[in-house]
Structure 1
Amino acid sequence: MLLPAGAAPDARLLLIGRALRAFTDGFVAILLPVYLLTLGLGKWEVGLISTATLLGSALATVAVGQWGHRFPQRRLLLAAAWLMAATGLLLAGLGGIGAFWPLLIVAFVGTMNPSSGDVSVFLPLEHARLAESAHGEARTFLFARYTFVGALCAATGSLATAIPQVLTDAGLAQLDALRLMFVAYGLTGVLIFVLYRALPDHRMHEQAASPEPLGPSRGIVIKLAALFSVDAFAGGLIVNTLLALWLFERFDLSLAAAGQFFFWAGLLSAGSQLAAPWVARHIGLINTMVFTHIPSSVCLVLAAFADSLPVALALLFLRSALSQMDVPTRSAFVMAVVTPAERAAAASFTAVPRSLAAAASPAIGGALFAAGWLALPLVACGLLKIAYDVALWRAFRKYEEPSS
């Protein structure tokens, strides 16, 4: 994988690791409920297990932020890789008995991700290492590569959901075919462990600053975490599952057509993240985050009232091309406004509230759809995101532009 000029060579290992994890997350996010239902669990139990994965990841990320500074980051990354391996292999093994409580415990303790986005304990650790691998503008480009690789590989991984059907058609039992996919997830953890063993061990070098818990930057991080939570809560009102439901209900879109829409929308989102550093170079990190995000939210609100499918899809495609440009710039900004020693903690404390807020709002969006208010989740999402952007710009424009 090509690195931006000025990035340390070991950043390539982090990009490859992100690609591998995103690919497996891409199919696991779709296969996990299918697997659990095939085991004979009910929808309520599937929901509990999905919630346990999010809650466990959030608590693990908090732990990294609070106590991770006591351990070398490389050791924590290797431990996370082993945990990923154990998660996949245990879930595959427990499929033989189908017991709810063991599955719930593994989901809570493990690294399983019920969404295609990254909510795992890997995130703050990899962000901190990436921030050390580049400075200034090169850091923004590096985070753009990181998020682009994740988005692209997650979209590609979703295509792997066809593998169990191919295996079933070849004569393998459906449950066994699904279990093999979780074995593949676990083996990917082993591969990432081998990959991250090649990372430099920072204990062997003198560092400018050893990792520490939040200190001088605590106020900034808390304010950012609060604002990011508003953004995440708004996004949860219209996650892809609910957006698909809206397209089905509003325009009677077929399942095949919806799949094609989300594939191309995902590619647009991934591509836009590569463009974000070039935009940030000219207008700054905060301006890129805000002034690409607001138009995307306006497109979502307009799509809610579109009279025809082509108009709605055009607006949603335009939204996809703009809405994720804030992801790499947001990560780069957080890493730049805190001290180097606080970066792992800052990544954790800004990621956890986002995960929890995003997990809370899909139920509200679903309830609004069930009540017949099809446009309201889209409108509420758009307006909340615009309010977030304005608040972010007013609060942090004075920090523009960090240079290290």
Structure 2
Amino acid sequence: MPSSPPPASSLWSPRRLAHESGLASVYQTGPDAWLIILSRSCRMLSYGASALILALFFAELGFPDARIGLFMTLTLAGDVLLSLVLTQIADRVGRRRTLLFGSLLMVISGVVFALCENYWVLLGAAVVGVISATGGDFGPFRAIEESILSELTDKDSRADVLVWYVTLASLGSSIGTEVAGRVLDLLMDETADNDENAPKKGEMRKSTWYAHIGRDTLSVMAVLWFLLSVDSVADGMVSMSLTTYYIDQKFHPAKTVLGHVLSAAYFVSSLSTIFSGPLARYIGLVNTMVFTHIPSSTAVLLFPFPDGVVGTFALLLLRVGLNNMDQAPRAALIAAVVRPEERTAVMGITVLLRTLASVTGPSVTGILAGNDRFWVAFVVAGALRLAYDLGLFVMFINIKLHRHEVVEETATQEDEEEGGREGAR
């Protein structure tokens, strides 16, 4: 349970700051939550590194833009089947075992990437494993982790804990991109020194394995799934790998500079995400999602228009800096509108549908880039993101939250009262 808020007179006291920032809720949730948050932070560190260099890596190997987009599309498609199967059976076989299995696949894929440069072998490794081609946290990990955190918390502490789950993940991405930029330039300098003439290379039933989701849940989630799919199509079109590739093609900045800016953007994201918890408490989950996401969406829409690198980097900072503030409220919103026994399955389907929607994006952008229309992808993606924001506000602003948890709490209280009366007899 979260700590009660201290008096207003102690506004800047450590206890007050811990409460408002959500750290008190994280601390009181316990070590299991700490380990999950740390695990995702480490995972996002590696995803942040790959987001900076993956498209550039394939370009250096000499693969055309269309193949780069195809690689990202097929990689996302590979995540679909893996996520669907693992999240639907995770509660039955054990969430820990499911996470360990996914981690093992990820390690194997990383080894293949380190040892091979063949396009089709790399594609197979990315499809079988959980390599993030876009820098996003696709695959089964996030759905299972969010479901675990939702059960470890209650309706009062859930948003705070999820905020830090997202915040430290963004910090991991920030560190990953910073390190990747520096290492990439260092390795390129060493390669040039050693070989100057080296050529460039272009609710669950116990009798079944699968979860059962009620019709009332489906009626609510169908609308949210559609809106999230629209947002995911846009994100797939302008993933961070493709965004850095666009900047590199347009302005040709040093990789270290690109790493600095992207790292700073992720760092700003990690700081801004802290405020989504207090915002959600004061203005609501849906308002927090919408009003923090609209500026980020607008930055995507306007991204190709600045003629200078400074304006482009400013829009990148705005986009990435605010982009994750809706993630913790979104997970808390899903947890608040579905039954506790449905959460893992619903969150897994959410990841599945978002991944499916993202599949078309990179290929479309690859074709546009190959025809010198790279900028169109950002305009379309920005418009789709804004449509998602407005649709979310219209459809969910008045939705009733926590109705299943209220019913369960009432039933528990009635059982306790009945037990007390029987004891008195």
What's 1:148 paired with? 167
What's 2:177 paired with? 158
What's 2:92 paired with? 70
Deviations 1:65-123 (A, max 9, x none): 43334322222122223333333345546x3xx66655444332222222322112212
Q: When the two structures are superposed, what TM-score results if normalisation uses the length of structure 1?
A: 0.76
Contact 2:67 2:366 in 1 (8 A): no
Q: When the two structures are superposed, what TM-score results if normalisation uses the length of structure 2?
A: 0.73
What's 2:80 paired with? 58
Contact 1:62 1:348 in 2 (8 A): yes
What's 2:211 paired with? 212
| Unpaired segments ≥5 residues, structure 2 | 1-21, 195-205, 406-425
Contact 1:65 1:213 in 2 (8 A): no
Counterpart code for 2:320: S
Structure 1 residue 59, shift from structure 2 partner: 1.0
Counterpart code for 2:77: L
What's 1:381 paired with? 381
Counterpart code for 2:389: D
Say whether 1:254 aligns with 2:276. Answer: no
Counterpart code for 1:232: S
| Unpaired segments ≥5 residues, structure 1 | 175-206
Contact 2:76 2:358 in 1 (8 A): no
Moved more, 285-294 or 368-377: 368-377
Say whether 1:349 aligns with 2:349. Answer: yes
Deviations 1:264-285 (A, max 9, x none): 2222222221111111111000
Contact 1:246 1:374 in 2 (8 A): yes
Structure 1 residue 359, shift from structure 2 partner: 3.0
Deviations 1:298-351 (A, max 9, x none): 344455545665455444433433332111111111122111111111111111
- Same amino acid, percent of matched pairs: 30
Structure 1 residues 376 and 53: CA distance shift in structure 2, 3 A: closer
What's 1:136 paired with? 155
Spell out the pairing of 1:175-324 with structure 2 (5 A cutoff). 212-216=211-215, 217-244=217-244, 247=247, 252=251, 254-256=253-255, 257-306=257-306, 310-324=310-324
What SS does the aligned partner of 1:10 have? helix
What's 2:198 paired with? none
Distance (Å, rounded) in 2 between the aligned partners of 1:311 and 1:343: 42
Say whether 1:25 aligns with 2:17. Answer: no
Contact 2:69 2:366 in 1 (8 A): no
Distance (Å, rounded) in 2 between the aligned partners of 1:34 and 1:299: 23
What's 2:141 paired with? 122
What's 2:358 paired with? 358
Contact 1:151 1:269 in 2 (8 A): yes
What's 1:84 paired with? 106
Structure 1 residue 18, shift from structure 2 partner: 0.8
Distance (Å, rounded) in 2 between the aligned partners of 1:31 and 1:148: 23
Structure 1 residue 295, shift from structure 2 partner: 3.0
Moved more, 339-348 or 353-362: 353-362
Contact 1:148 1:270 in 2 (8 A): yes
Aligned length: 364
Of structures 1 and 2, the larger Rg is shown by: 2
